[in-house]
Amino acid sequence: MDTLLRLRAALSLVQWSDLRARPAICPLCGPSVIVQLNVSAIGVRCLRCSASAITMSLVSILRQELESLENLHVYELSSRGPLVAWLRRHAGQVTCSEYFDGVGAGETLNGVQCQDVQLLTYAAASFDACTSTEVFEHVPDDLRGFAELYRVLRPGGRLVFSVPMSPRAATVERAFWKDGVIHHLLPPEYHGDHIRGQGRVLAYRNYGLDILDRVRAAGFSDVRIVKPMHWLGRWAGQPIIVATA
Protein backbone atom coordinates (compact mmCIF):
# COMPACT_ATOMS: atom_id res chain seq x y z
CA MET A 1 0.00 0.00 0.00
CA ASP A 2 2.83 2.43 0.86
CA THR A 3 4.45 1.71 -2.50
CA LEU A 4 1.17 2.41 -4.31
CA LEU A 5 0.68 5.68 -2.43
CA ARG A 6 4.25 6.74 -3.20
CA LEU A 7 3.73 5.91 -6.88
CA ARG A 8 0.54 7.96 -7.01
CA ALA A 9 2.25 10.89 -5.29
CA ALA A 10 5.16 10.70 -7.73
CA LEU A 11 2.88 10.59 -10.77
CA SER A 12 1.08 13.70 -9.51
CA LEU A 13 4.40 15.58 -9.71
CA VAL A 14 5.45 14.47 -13.18
CA GLN A 15 5.88 17.01 -15.94
CA TRP A 16 6.77 14.71 -18.79
CA SER A 17 8.89 17.27 -20.63
CA ASP A 18 11.07 17.67 -17.51
CA LEU A 19 11.52 13.97 -16.78
CA ARG A 20 15.17 12.98 -16.31
CA ALA A 21 17.10 10.27 -14.44
CA ARG A 22 20.72 9.68 -13.48
CA PRO A 23 22.69 7.43 -11.13
CA ALA A 24 23.93 9.16 -7.96
CA ILE A 25 24.77 8.63 -4.31
CA CYS A 26 21.78 9.56 -2.15
CA PRO A 27 22.87 11.01 1.24
CA LEU A 28 20.13 8.95 2.89
CA CYS A 29 20.34 5.52 1.26
CA GLY A 30 23.51 5.32 -0.82
CA PRO A 31 23.80 4.26 -4.50
CA SER A 32 20.54 5.02 -6.25
CA VAL A 33 18.92 6.65 -9.24
CA ILE A 34 17.82 10.26 -8.86
CA VAL A 35 14.74 11.17 -10.89
CA GLN A 36 13.69 14.66 -11.89
CA LEU A 37 9.90 14.61 -12.08
CA ASN A 38 9.71 18.37 -12.57
CA VAL A 39 12.07 21.31 -12.16
CA SER A 40 11.09 22.12 -8.55
CA ALA A 41 13.17 21.01 -5.55
CA ILE A 42 10.36 18.74 -4.39
CA GLY A 43 10.21 17.21 -7.88
CA VAL A 44 13.75 15.78 -7.64
CA ARG A 45 13.53 12.40 -5.88
CA CYS A 46 15.64 9.43 -4.92
CA LEU A 47 14.15 6.35 -6.56
CA ARG A 48 15.07 4.12 -3.57
CA CYS A 49 13.98 6.14 -0.53
CA SER A 50 11.78 8.85 -2.16
CA ALA A 51 13.71 11.68 -0.49
CA SER A 52 13.32 15.01 -2.26
CA ALA A 53 16.22 17.30 -3.16
CA ILE A 54 15.31 19.32 -0.05
CA THR A 55 15.59 16.28 2.24
CA MET A 56 18.75 15.06 0.52
CA SER A 57 20.30 18.50 1.00
CA LEU A 58 19.31 18.65 4.67
CA VAL A 59 20.73 15.20 5.43
CA SER A 60 23.92 16.08 3.58
CA ILE A 61 24.32 19.12 5.86
CA LEU A 62 23.44 17.10 8.97
CA ARG A 63 26.29 14.73 8.11
CA GLN A 64 28.63 17.72 7.81
CA GLU A 65 27.48 19.60 10.92
CA LEU A 66 26.63 16.97 13.55
CA GLU A 67 29.30 14.66 14.84
CA SER A 68 28.41 11.55 16.82
CA LEU A 69 24.77 11.69 15.76
CA GLU A 70 24.32 8.28 17.37
CA ASN A 71 24.72 9.97 20.76
CA LEU A 72 22.31 12.86 20.13
CA HIS A 73 18.62 13.41 20.86
CA VAL A 74 17.00 15.00 17.80
CA TYR A 75 13.60 16.70 17.64
CA GLU A 76 12.02 16.63 14.16
CA LEU A 77 8.91 18.69 13.39
CA SER A 78 7.22 15.87 11.45
CA SER A 79 6.44 12.22 12.08
CA ARG A 80 6.91 10.45 8.78
CA GLY A 81 8.86 10.45 5.54
CA PRO A 82 12.43 9.69 4.46
CA LEU A 83 14.03 12.19 6.87
CA VAL A 84 12.30 10.68 9.90
CA ALA A 85 13.24 7.16 8.75
CA TRP A 86 16.89 8.22 8.32
CA LEU A 87 17.02 9.92 11.73
CA ARG A 88 15.58 6.84 13.42
CA ARG A 89 18.36 4.73 11.87
CA HIS A 90 21.20 7.08 12.75
CA ALA A 91 20.35 9.28 15.75
CA GLY A 92 20.59 8.08 19.34
CA GLN A 93 17.03 9.21 20.10
CA VAL A 94 14.37 10.86 17.95
CA THR A 95 11.28 12.77 19.08
CA CYS A 96 8.71 13.58 16.40
CA SER A 97 5.54 15.63 16.34
CA GLU A 98 2.92 17.09 14.03
CA TYR A 99 0.51 20.00 14.30
CA PHE A 100 -3.06 18.71 14.18
CA ASP A 101 -5.99 21.10 13.97
CA GLY A 102 -8.26 20.70 16.99
CA VAL A 103 -5.83 18.57 19.01
CA GLY A 104 -4.31 19.95 22.20
CA ALA A 105 -0.58 20.51 22.47
CA GLY A 106 1.10 17.45 23.96
CA GLU A 107 -1.87 15.19 23.19
CA THR A 108 -1.57 12.33 20.71
CA LEU A 109 -3.53 11.38 17.62
CA ASN A 110 -2.99 7.91 16.14
CA GLY A 111 0.16 7.57 18.21
CA VAL A 112 1.67 10.89 17.05
CA GLN A 113 2.15 13.75 19.46
CA CYS A 114 0.63 17.13 18.58
CA GLN A 115 2.90 20.13 19.12
CA ASP A 116 2.54 23.80 18.21
CA VAL A 117 6.07 25.09 17.60
CA GLN A 118 4.92 28.48 18.91
CA LEU A 119 4.29 26.94 22.36
CA LEU A 120 6.06 23.60 22.81
CA THR A 121 5.28 21.46 25.85
CA TYR A 122 8.87 20.18 26.19
CA ALA A 123 11.15 21.23 29.03
CA ALA A 124 14.01 23.62 28.37
CA ALA A 125 17.27 22.09 27.10
CA SER A 126 15.60 18.80 26.08
CA PHE A 127 17.31 18.21 22.71
CA ASP A 128 20.73 18.26 21.07
CA ALA A 129 19.39 19.14 17.62
CA CYS A 130 16.15 20.22 15.94
CA THR A 131 15.29 19.68 12.28
CA SER A 132 12.47 20.66 9.96
CA THR A 133 11.73 20.97 6.25
CA GLU A 134 9.40 23.62 4.82
CA VAL A 135 7.54 24.36 8.09
CA PHE A 136 8.15 27.92 9.26
CA GLU A 137 6.50 29.67 6.32
CA HIS A 138 3.27 28.16 7.69
CA VAL A 139 3.76 29.27 11.30
CA PRO A 140 1.74 32.41 12.15
CA ASP A 141 4.36 33.75 14.58
CA ASP A 142 7.62 32.33 13.27
CA LEU A 143 9.73 34.47 15.63
CA ARG A 144 8.01 32.84 18.59
CA GLY A 145 8.58 29.44 16.99
CA PHE A 146 12.31 30.06 16.60
CA ALA A 147 12.44 31.22 20.23
CA GLU A 148 10.75 28.02 21.37
CA LEU A 149 13.27 25.87 19.51
CA TYR A 150 16.08 27.88 21.08
CA ARG A 151 14.52 27.21 24.49
CA VAL A 152 14.26 23.44 24.06
CA LEU A 153 17.77 23.05 22.62
CA ARG A 154 20.70 22.41 24.91
CA PRO A 155 23.51 25.01 24.88
CA GLY A 156 25.51 24.40 21.73
CA GLY A 157 22.66 22.47 20.13
CA ARG A 158 21.95 22.88 16.41
CA LEU A 159 18.88 23.96 14.53
CA VAL A 160 19.06 22.65 10.95
CA PHE A 161 16.11 23.43 8.69
CA SER A 162 14.85 24.52 5.29
CA VAL A 163 12.25 26.99 4.11
CA PRO A 164 11.35 28.21 0.63
CA MET A 165 13.62 31.22 0.21
CA SER A 166 14.33 33.77 -2.50
CA PRO A 167 17.60 35.69 -3.02
CA ARG A 168 15.92 39.02 -2.25
CA ALA A 169 16.87 40.75 0.99
CA ALA A 170 13.52 41.12 2.73
CA THR A 171 10.86 38.60 3.69
CA VAL A 172 7.44 39.31 2.21
CA GLU A 173 4.64 39.01 4.74
CA ARG A 174 1.54 37.57 3.10
CA ALA A 175 -0.79 37.19 6.08
CA PHE A 176 -0.94 37.50 9.86
CA TRP A 177 -2.99 36.02 12.69
CA LYS A 178 -4.69 38.29 15.22
CA ASP A 179 -7.47 37.58 17.73
CA GLY A 180 -8.22 34.21 16.14
CA VAL A 181 -8.59 35.62 12.62
CA ILE A 182 -6.29 35.38 9.61
CA HIS A 183 -5.75 38.74 7.93
CA HIS A 184 -4.45 38.63 4.36
CA LEU A 185 -2.01 41.24 3.10
CA LEU A 186 -1.60 39.57 -0.30
CA PRO A 187 -3.65 37.02 -2.24
CA PRO A 188 -3.52 33.72 -0.30
CA GLU A 189 -0.80 31.24 -1.20
CA TYR A 190 -1.33 27.62 -0.22
CA HIS A 191 1.09 24.71 -0.08
CA GLY A 192 0.48 21.03 0.69
CA ASP A 193 1.43 18.49 3.33
CA HIS A 194 0.81 14.80 3.97
CA ILE A 195 -1.90 15.53 6.57
CA ARG A 196 -4.04 18.16 4.89
CA GLY A 197 -3.26 17.41 1.25
CA GLN A 198 -2.23 19.64 -1.63
CA GLY A 199 -3.19 23.31 -1.67
CA ARG A 200 -4.51 23.35 1.90
CA VAL A 201 -1.75 24.91 4.04
CA LEU A 202 -1.55 28.71 4.11
CA ALA A 203 1.85 30.35 3.63
CA TYR A 204 2.12 33.34 5.94
CA ARG A 205 5.27 34.66 4.29
CA ASN A 206 7.84 34.25 1.54
CA TYR A 207 11.29 34.34 3.12
CA GLY A 208 14.20 36.46 1.96
CA LEU A 209 17.78 36.50 3.18
CA ASP A 210 16.74 38.37 6.33
CA ILE A 211 15.56 35.03 7.74
CA LEU A 212 19.06 34.90 9.26
CA ASP A 213 18.23 37.98 11.32
CA ARG A 214 14.90 36.47 12.38
CA VAL A 215 16.68 33.36 13.69
CA ARG A 216 19.36 35.45 15.44
CA ALA A 217 16.63 37.48 17.16
CA ALA A 218 15.51 34.27 18.92
CA GLY A 219 18.94 33.96 20.58
CA PHE A 220 20.78 31.72 18.10
CA SER A 221 24.39 32.40 17.14
CA ASP A 222 26.46 31.44 14.11
CA VAL A 223 23.38 31.49 11.86
CA ARG A 224 24.34 30.48 8.33
CA ILE A 225 22.90 29.49 4.99
CA VAL A 226 24.73 26.36 3.87
CA LYS A 227 24.53 24.53 0.56
CA PRO A 228 25.76 20.95 0.22
CA MET A 229 28.59 20.05 -2.08
CA HIS A 230 27.58 19.63 -5.71
CA TRP A 231 26.73 15.97 -5.38
CA LEU A 232 23.82 16.37 -7.82
CA GLY A 233 24.93 19.40 -9.78
CA ARG A 234 22.04 21.61 -10.82
CA TRP A 235 19.52 19.06 -9.57
CA ALA A 236 20.10 19.74 -5.91
CA GLY A 237 22.09 21.82 -3.49
CA GLN A 238 19.09 23.39 -1.79
CA PRO A 239 19.99 26.06 0.82
CA ILE A 240 19.79 24.85 4.42
CA ILE A 241 19.88 27.11 7.47
CA VAL A 242 22.13 26.10 10.37
CA ALA A 243 22.07 27.89 13.74
CA THR A 244 23.72 27.23 17.09
CA ALA A 245 21.89 27.63 20.41
The structural domains of the chain, ordered by start, are 54-244 (3.40.50.150)
The mean pLDDT value of the chain amounts to 88
Assess contact for 71 and 65: CB atoms under 8 A. no
pLDDT digits (tens, 9 = 90+) for 134-180: 999 999 999 999 999 999 999 999 999 999 999 899 999 999 999 99
pLDDT band at 10 (very low <50, low <70, confident <90, very high): low
Yes or no: say if 233 and 144 are a contact pair by the CB < 8 Å rule.
Answer: no
What are the E-state strand segments in the chain? Answer: 20-26, 30-36, 44-46, 73-76, 93-96, 108-109, 112-113, 127-133, 153-162, 172-173, 175-178, 181-184, 190-193, 197-202, 205-206, 221-226, 240-244
The one-letter code for the residue type at 122 is Y
Q: Tell me how crowded residue 171 is: count the other CB atoms within 10 A of its CB.
A: 21
What gap in Å lies between CA 128 and CA 218, rounded to an integer?
17
Give the per-residue pLDDT at 41: 64
Which amino acid belongs to residue 131? T
194 or 14: which leads in pLDDT: 194
Nearest to 163 by CA among 82, 241, 83, 62: 241
Which residue has better confidence, 188 or 41? Answer: 188
Pick the more confident residue, 60 or 2.
60
Confidence of residue 3 (pLDDT cuts 50, 70, 90): very low
Q: What is the predicted pLDDT for the residue at 31?
A: 93
